[in-house]
Amino acid sequence: MLLLAMDTATPAVTVALHDGEAVVASSSQVDARRHGELLLPAVDRVLKEAGLTLDAVTGLVVGVGPGPYTGLRVGLVTAAAFSSALAVPVHGLCTLDGLAYASGIDEPFAVATDARRKEVYWARYDDSRTRVGDAAVDRPADIAERLAGLPVVGAGARLYPDAFPDARDPGHQSAAALAGLAAERLAAGGEGFLDPLPMYLRRPDAQVPKNYKVVTPK
């Protein structure tokens, strides 16, 4: 097994290789505006570090979000292109699940990432491997009471300390954690994966104008 994992649903552009036992190589850069520019060089970098070529990959793992429209699609489209070229499967995972897995917390907690518009993408967990319910998007103040007393992992927790006073690491997504979670699920029979399709939870920030300005001469 050699899994190539990637996630661009958050400001972190993150890539990792996992051989089924451990992470072979990984790369993470935090830049919310350069997902398309940074992802393929990161793939090249981890392959070079591992001394491998792309055709050695036997499966792909991709974070499906939730996340903003443009950045999220970069990872999904890249994974789909690699899958087609290599004829290997793509395993989708919720981005929040990767952060939860990386936390290693073995008690109830939550994960929150920055959704912009003064909102967070979030989900609750019984432990680092078990999500409770679906991911959602809300204003921090609207869910603060529901998450009171729980540790909250992720950059969203650090952005809104009044709502989430017990912020925990990691702050950013790691493809290494996403790959580790995928390897565990594959070893257990391959259950728990999502279709590699974007999880948006809301409409994109960019909107088509409702009323077009007339620019042609009368």
Per-residue pLDDT averaged across 153-175, rounded? 96
What's the DSSP call for residue 144? T
Mean pLDDT (whole number) for 29-36: 94
Q: What is each CA distance from 94 to 147, 193, 194, 217, in whole angstroms?
A: 20, 8, 8, 51
Q: Can you give the pLDDT at residue 202?
A: 75
- Angle at Cα 179 formed by Cα 4 and Cα 153, nearest 5°? 135
Q: What is the mean pLDDT of the chain?
A: 93
Written as one letter, the residue type at 98 is: G
Residue 214 has pLDDT above 60, yes or no: no
Task: State whether residue 134 is helix, strand or coil.
Answer: strand
Give the residues across from 138 on adjacent strands: 120
- pLDDT the model gives residue 155: 96
| pLDDT bracket for residue 218 (50, 70, 90) | low
pLDDT band at 182 (very low <50, low <70, confident <90, very high): very high
Is the per-residue pLDDT at 26 higher than 60?
A: yes
What integer pLDDT is reported at residue 65 of this predicted model?
A: 96
The model's pTM: 0.90
Total residues belonging to the chain: 218
CB atoms within 10 A of CB 32: 15
- Which neighbouring-strand residues pair with 52? none
Report the amino acid identity of residue 66: P
Element at 187 (helix H, strand E) = helix 175-187
Q: Residue written as tokens 């793509």?
A: 90
Q: What is the pLDDT of residue 59?
A: 98
Nearest to 125 by CA among 144, 145, 105, 102: 105
How far apart are alpha carbons 141 and 158 in whole angstroms? 14
User: What is the structure's pLDDT at 60?
Assistant: 98
Q: What is the pLDDT of residue 173?
A: 96
Reported as a single tens digit per residue, the pLDDT across 67-112 is: 988 899 999 999 999 999 999 999 999 999 999 999 999 999 999 9
At 68 the pLDDT is 86
